[in-house]
Amino acid sequence: MLPRLPEWQTRAACKGRVDVDFIEPKSPAEDAECRALCAGCRVREQCLAAALATGEAWGLWGGLDAEERLRLAERDGHELPAVLPAHGTNPRYAKHRCRCDLCRKAHTDYERARRAHRRVRVEPWSPIVLAEPVRIGRVWAGAGQLLLPLPGVPRPREAEPGELLASAA
């Protein structure tokens, strides 16, 4: 059996409106349409109160989105939306569209780290084909042998394609 809705929800203007997404409106027009419905809703106050009371962190409730409810909650001492990421984190910037200084900086740092990570990944750590014998400690690695490049160690000369075949012929 489905759980029963609170009585006020049976009178909600958004009831049955599956054509608009109150959780994550897909466009400014859809967001405006949701807010217009809320503006004319008979149970707007109950709706907002319920969201504030439970720290609801998603969607439009009582005509206010999560950020607006957070500001209201902070101002009036309500429980803060529980799962909203903190300011100064990239999810707060990217997913919740906070543009405060802390979140902007977190996003910049995140993007910088992501680009650096990608740069490291695209440089393939492929082995070097030795063009000529190289001494490694006490032993020699012969021409044609594969060697893994080591960070901070000068790369030995690498054989050009076909070079070793030509010298062997």
Q: Which of 25, 52, 56, 63 touches ligand SF4 (CB under 6 A)?
A: 63
Q: Which two tokens stand for residue 93?
A: 């910037």
Q: Which of 62, 69, 61, 57 is nearest to 95 (CA)?
A: 57
Least spacing, CB of residue 70 vs Zn ion, in Å: 10
CB 108 within 8 A of CB 133: no
Q: Which of 52, 49, 55, 47 is nearest to 82 (CA)?
A: 55
Per the listing, tokens 């029963």 go with 4
Could you give the CA distance from residue 51 to residue 82 in angstroms, rounded to a whole number?
Answer: 11
Nearer to ligand SF4, 43 or 84 (CB): 43
Residue length of the chain: 169
User: Judged by CB under 6 A, how many residues of this single chain contact ligand SF4?
Assistant: 14
Least spacing, CB of residue 76 vs ligand SF4, in Å: 18
98 binds, among ligand SF4, Zn ion, none (CB under 5 to 8 A by kind): Zn ion
134 binds, among Zn ion, ligand SF4, none (CB under 5 to 8 A by kind): none
Nearer to ligand SF4, 11 or 157 (CB): 11
Nearer to ligand SF4, 43 or 52 (CB): 43
Could you give the CA distance from residue 55 to residue 82 in angstroms, rounded to a whole number?
Answer: 6
CB 107 within 8 A of CB 94: yes
Measured CA to CA in angstroms, residue 71 lies from 6, 36, 40, 87, 154 at distances of: 26, 21, 22, 12, 57
Within residues 13-52, the interface with ligand SF4 by CB under 6 A covers 13-14, 22, 37-38, 41, 43-44, 47
Q: Does 61 bind ligand SF4 (CB under 6 A)?
A: yes
Q: Does 70 bind Zn ion (CB under 5 A)?
A: no
Q: Does 70 bind ligand SF4 (CB under 6 A)?
A: no
What is the contact surface with ligand SF4 in residues (CB under 6 A)? 12-14, 22, 37-38, 41, 43-44, 47, 60-63
